[in-house]
């Protein structure tokens, strides 16, 4: 989801990032505050004053979202869920979890922490605004505090809507999960609520645009589209985790994969392997022992005139734990490893020996089959001959 992130700071051990999309919306919010919102609430001030108020309020909004997501993260940590970081993006923020809550109670408390923190922050900001006004403090500071209090109030109330994947929708899922003891059914109902709420916002936004409120209507429309997409994606992810929960890497991997001898000339590697099997990277092994990996990127960096007299071992890279996985590991762990390290495949090793390759294409085919046919999760699905094995002679 996040392709252009900037690291901001670390809070309670959680790394906070900001996506480029949030910088765009932050600039738009600051402009709207400086030219419309604050001039209407405090008329007669100089333009630079409105701009520093707008910048201060925008920074306050950023920290309000971080406060909200940190509350989620602290409760998640309490229940042993790893948080990889907090990222601010165009529609707010998200705490990126490495796993799902293990119980309905954990999910409910983790979800409730966000809106409650926003409502608490809202009350605090309203109180500070009242204290400022009561002591004849600067009206500009009072206006910024009141605006941030109102914003956090709306953030807290909106997130309580029982529409997945909003916090209220997660609380609904947790309640249904605890009642029915079926997370799949609970997710389906909560996701349907999220889908319906998304459609409502899309229709409402369209009507607002037709009535002349283009900016407000477009925001409602876009948020509705986002909620629908996110609800469907969360449901599919939950179902995928259920059908793959008991599957191991050994059940899915391609055994006895193509491996490149380290002494093979680069020219022969290109002709006999890259052009024939159409992979960008191959394992390098001798007598079954994994020595490294080599691909088109390493070869492209080598002058073509050297291909004939350069061996694969001279350009191969050493394998790291990011490139390999054990056959006993779970498929869900393999998926997370691929996603975190941006790998399209993993080399499966046992006692240092290469015994298989696990590719994203194999995972997608297995998931598609299991979701479509509801195959027994303890039995590997039959598949086509994997492209990682050598072709039989004709």
Q: Which residues are catalytic?
A: 69
DSSP 135-179: TT--HHHHHHHHHHHHHHHHHHHHHTSS-TTSHHHHHHHHHHHHH
Instruction: Kindly tell me the burial class for residue 376, based on how many C-beta atoms sit within 10 Å of its own C-beta (0-12, 13-18, 19 or more).
Output: exposed
Q: Prior bond to 165 cis, omega within 30?
A: yes
CA atoms within 13 A of residue 136's CA, in its CB half-sphere: 0
C-alpha–C-alpha distance, residues 313 and 293, integer Å? 9
Residue 141: C-alpha distances to residues 130, 134, 356, 369 (Å): 11, 12, 63, 59
Task: Say if residues 163 and 228 touch (Cβ distance below 8 Å).
Answer: no
Backbone angles phi, psi at 8, to 5 degrees: -100, -65
Q: What would you measure as the largest C-alpha separation in the chain, in angstroms?
A: 91
Backbone angles phi, psi at 375, to 5 degrees: -70, 155
**Nearest one of 65, 1, 59 to 33, comparing CA atoms:** 59
């Amino acid at each position: 989801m996040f392709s252009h992130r900037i690291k901001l700071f670390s809070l309670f051990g959680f790394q906070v990032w900001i996506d480029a999309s949030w910088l765009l919306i932050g600039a738009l919010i600051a402009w709207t505050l400086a030219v419309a919102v604050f001039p209407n609430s405090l008329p007669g001030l100089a333009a630079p004053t409105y701009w520093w108020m707008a910048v201060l309020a925008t920074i306050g909004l950023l920290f309000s979202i971080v406060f909200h997501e940190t509350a989620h993260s602290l409760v998640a940590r309490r229940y042993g869920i790893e948080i990889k970081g907090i990222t601010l993006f165009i529609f707010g923020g998200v705490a990126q979890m490495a796993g799902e809550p293990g119980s309905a109670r954990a999910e409910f408390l983790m979800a409730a922490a966000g809106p409650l923190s926003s409502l608490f922050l809202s009350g605090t900001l309203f109180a500070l605004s009242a204290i400022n006004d009561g002591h004849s403090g600067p009206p500009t500071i009072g206006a910024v505090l009141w605006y941030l209090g109102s914003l956090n109030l709306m953030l807290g109330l909106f997130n309580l809507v029982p529409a997945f994947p909003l916090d209220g929708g997660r609380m609904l899922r947790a309640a249904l999960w605890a009642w029915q003891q079926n997370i799949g059914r609970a997710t389906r109902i909560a996701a349907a609520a999220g889908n319906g709420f998304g459609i409502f916002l899309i229709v409402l936004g369209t009507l607002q645009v037709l009535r002349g409120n283009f900016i407000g209507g477009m925001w409602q429309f876009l948020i509705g589209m986002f909620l629908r997409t996110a609800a469907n994606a969360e449901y599919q992810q939950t179902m995928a985790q259920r059908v793959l929960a008991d599957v191991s890497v050994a059940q899915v991997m391609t055994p006895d994969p193509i491996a490149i001898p380290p002494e093979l000339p680069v020219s022969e590697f290109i002709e006999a392997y890259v052009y024939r099997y159409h992979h960008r990277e191959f394992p390098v092994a001798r007598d079954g022992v994994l020595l490294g990996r080599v691909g088109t990127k390493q070869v492209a960096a080598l002058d073509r005139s050297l291909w004939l007299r350069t061996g694969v071992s001279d350009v191969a890279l050493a394998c790291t734990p990011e490139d390999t996985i054990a056959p006993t590991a779970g498929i869900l762990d393999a998926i997370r490893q691929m996603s975190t390290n941006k790998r399209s495949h993993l080399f499966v090793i046992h006692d240092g020996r290469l015994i298989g390759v696990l590719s994203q294409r194999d995972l997608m085919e297995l998931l598609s089959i299991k979701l479509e046919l509801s195959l027994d999760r303890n039995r590997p699905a039959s598949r086509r001959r994997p492209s990682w094995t050598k072709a039989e002679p004709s």
